[in-house]
A and B are shown apart, each in its own frame.
Chain A
Amino acid sequence: MESLKLLAPLAWRNLWRNPRRTVITLFVVSVGLWSILAMASFITAWGQSSRDATLRLLFAQGQIHAEGYLDNPNINRLMDPPDTALLAALNAPEISNWAARLELPAVVRSEYKTLPVTVVGVLPEAEIRISSIPQKLVEGRYLSGPEDDGAIIGLNLAKRLKTALGRRVILMITAQDGWLEERSFDVVGIYDADTAFEDTYIFTGRAAMQTMVGLGDEISQIAFEVPEDEALEGVIASLRAAAPAHDVRQWRKLSLIMGAMDASMAATVYVWMSVMMVMISIGVINTQLMAVFERIHEFGLLRALGLKPAHVLVLVTLESMLLIGLGVLIGMLAGAATVWGLAGGIDLSAFSQALEAFKSGEVLYLEIRPMDYVIFPLAIWLLGVWVALWPAWRAAKISPVEAMRHAT
């Protein structure tokens, strides 16, 4: 303790003996950390925004199906509307909205073409709250109620079928009795999402669809929205408890591609962090070795005066702790300043065509995630101090006799 009080001020002053080198090291460390923090914020915001946009289309944060439906979605694997226990769980405060749908594979036919699609029977009232499709209409109107037997189809599908608003399309769905049920629908609305989605989904009133295929009030899925990702696990557990016979899944398990994208975004940050860590290590080792070799004589003197090798090790390590600590501090401030500076959001609408593949929302809002400001700075600091132990150890090994001999 006493020796720390002796060595710490010495270490601090030594930092400023070669201001140019100190500034270079500070620059390397702080820019490295800044880039990691900024990238983490950006990637997180981007990932979240594109994920939210996709989930908002239709899927929501989780879905309930009858056991086996997801493996083979057909009319024989439906479920009844939620019973009181499930209703109570669905109306929990963590769940902001939910919607019960009838979703079945189908074939759509126009005068020109026949294409496989998925028809979703919806309750428009619930759908408006949970899905963004009602807001994505470019022509016509949304469904007026469960009995509405109009069809809402995607822009690209309309193009491929060579049909238009006000025209009719034929939908064929396998009914309860096994026969192929066929009926014509008026196209009442056309929506604009991404093409893959547009080619897949057709919407109509749920009751109208149930009647067409000879069902009572059976449904195929309940989609539920959980605004706080942290609450999702708990919600899933309570839903499973309320409906043990059903298949309750969160979005990562429903859409493997989206789950993988989510994971790879996080991985990108770690790859970048590794690259920066290598750069920072090289920078720190270099400058600290130079700092030690420049002062061989001085370490010899200090040793001659009675400083022990361990003291020298502590002295040089303190120097790197202070130096890298300062760099880390600057990097954290720069990272936070970047996020605050972009608090108004980054407008990506100019790139929205190019970004369609990523399904990003058009404005990104960066935020500071407190754990990022603990883990990354700590990792960089510990790494820097750790690699600087080598120069420090070299300094501790300097023999006073040798050092003084070469000085003159």
Chain B
Amino acid sequence: MQHKGNEMKAIVSCKGITKVFGKGELAVHALRGIDLDIMEGDFATLAGPSGSGKTTLLNMIGALDHPTEGEVSVDGQSLSGMSKSALSDLRLEKVGFIFQAYNLVPVLSARENVEFVLRLAKVPAAERRSRADAALAEVGLKGMENRRPSALSGGQQQRVAIARALVGRPRIVLADEPTANLDSKTTAELVALMYRLNQESGITFLMGTHDPRVMAHSKRHIEMEDGKIISDTRS
């Protein structure tokens, strides 16, 4: 475990991350040297124009992709050299994901979608169900546990995704443009929900976004441009 400052602990630590897609003339330098620590309890936004490298960076942190150079550690554990299977396990245990769209498995009900990660983590059946229902209640979906995604609105689907991201008690929740497909009222509700979860339960959030309504709530604002972090401010 790393300790920074007095009692602050880094959940995620990136050192000298670069990412190059492709080779030669076609090479795209998506990340050009990122040093970043995300602290326990952060409610951080990652902003920047389209193509600036937000998604790529989130993928590195979430162990979905590996950097060309540099090192990512999650919860004190370095990801370099880990097998695909071990990375799957790490995602399962330590990271919750919320994507922009298509977050849910269409043939599973809201409860089954949330339970899915618990089943992968081999949580016993009875506990699984109560935890899933509690998570759904937490995001305001009590009574909708048996609905399939097609019977839920876009905002409700994102709430299910949040419930699923939280139910595994991850060290960090990574959200990539979680409100991009939602109207402003739903966006406000969703951001308020995540903020409340962060405040009440101390869950660490890192969100890629360029939505000002999301940034308005953020306690730490990281700005990217052209694969680099150009500012990192706390409010």
Q: When the two chains form the complex, which single residue of A6, A17, A301, A308 contacts B102, counting CB atoms closer than 8 Å?
A: A301
A400 within 8 Å of B (CB atoms): yes
CA distance A407 to B99 in the complex (A): 11
B195 within 8 Å of A (CB atoms): no
Q: When the two chains form the complex, which single residue of B101, B103, B107, B122 contacts A10, counting CB atoms closer than 8 Å?
A: B107
Structural contact, B119 and A17, CB atoms closer than 8 A: no
Structural contact, B64 and A297, CB atoms closer than 8 A: no
Closest to A404 in B: B99
Structural contact, A305 and B107, CB atoms closer than 8 A: no
Residues of A within 8 A of B101 (CB): 407-408
B189 within 8 Å of A (CB atoms): no
Q: When the two chains form the complex, which single residue of A17, A306, A401 contacts B59, counting CB atoms closer than 8 Å?
A: A401
Q: When the two chains form the complex, which single residue of A14, A301, A302 contacts B99, counting CB atoms closer than 8 Å?
A: A301
Q: When the two chains form the complex, which single residue of A306, A400, A405 contacts B55, counting CB atoms closer than 8 Å?
A: A405
Q: How far is the CB of B74 from chain A (nearest CB, A)?
A: 14
Q: How far is the CB of A115 from chain B (nearest CB, A)?
A: 80
Q: Using known A-B contacts A400-B64, A408-B101, determine if residue A306 contacts B106 with beta carbons closer than 8 Å.
A: no
B65 within 8 Å of A (CB atoms): yes
Structural contact, B102 and A297, CB atoms closer than 8 A: yes
- A306-355 contacts to B, CB under 8 A, are 306-309
Q: How far is the CB of A4 from chain B (nearest CB, A)?
A: 11
Q: How far is the CB of A47 from chain B (nearest CB, A)?
A: 48
CA distance A2 to B128 in the complex (A): 14
Residue among B91, B107, B117, B122 with most chain A CB within 10 A: B107
Q: How far is the CB of B96 from chain A (nearest CB, A)?
A: 9
Closest to A297 in B: B102
Closest to B99 in A: A404
A13 within 8 Å of B (CB atoms): yes
- Of B8-16, B81-89, B215-223, the segment with at least 4 beta carbons within 8 Å of chain A is B81-89
B62 within 8 Å of A (CB atoms): yes
Q: Chain B, interface size: which category?
A: 20 to 34
Residues of B within 8 A of A302 (CB): 105
Structural contact, B89 and A306, CB atoms closer than 8 A: yes
CA distance A13 to B105 in the complex (A): 11
Residues of A within 8 A of B92 (CB): 305-306
CA distance A405 to B21 in the complex (A): 13
Structural contact, B64 and A301, CB atoms closer than 8 A: no
CA distance A301 to B161 in the complex (A): 11
B156 within 8 Å of A (CB atoms): no
Structural contact, B84 and A308, CB atoms closer than 8 A: yes
Closest to B97 in A: A304
B126 within 8 Å of A (CB atoms): no
Structural contact, A10 and B105, CB atoms closer than 8 A: yes
Q: How far is the CB of A3 from chain B (nearest CB, A)?
A: 8
Q: When the two chains form the complex, which single residue of B91, B105, B107, B108 contacts A306, counting CB atoms closer than 8 Å?
A: B91
Q: How far is the CB of A304 from chain B (nearest CB, A)?
A: 6
CA distance A303 to B105 in the complex (A): 12
Structural contact, A17 and B107, CB atoms closer than 8 A: yes
Residue among A301, A304, A309 with most chain B CB within 10 A: A304
Residues of A within 8 A of B105 (CB): 10, 298, 301-302
- B48-68 contacts to A, CB under 8 A, are 55, 59, 62, 64-65
Q: How far is the CB of A114 from chain B (nearest CB, A)?
A: 85
Residues of A within 8 A of B107 (CB): 10, 13-14, 17
Q: When the two chains form the complex, which single residue of A10, A308, A401, A407 contacts B65, counting CB atoms closer than 8 Å?
A: A401
Residue-wise, chain A 374-408 has the 8 Å CB interface mask toward B (1 for contact) of 00000000000000000000000000110011011
Residues of B within 8 A of A400 (CB): 64
The 4 closest A-B pairs by CB, nearest first: A306-B92, A13-B107, A401-B65, A6-B119
Interface positions of A (Cβ within 8 A of B): 2-3, 6, 10, 13-14, 17, 297-298, 301-309, 400-401, 404-405, 407-408
Interface positions of B (Cβ within 8 A of A): 55, 59, 62, 64-65, 84-85, 88-89, 91-92, 97, 99-103, 105-108, 116-117, 119-122, 164
* Complex A-B: 17 CB contacts under 8 Å: A10-B108, A14-B107, A17-B107, A298-B102, A298-B106, A301-B99, A301-B102, A301-B105, A302-B105, A303-B88, A304-B62, A305-B97, A305-B116, A307-B88, A308-B85, A404-B64, A407-B102
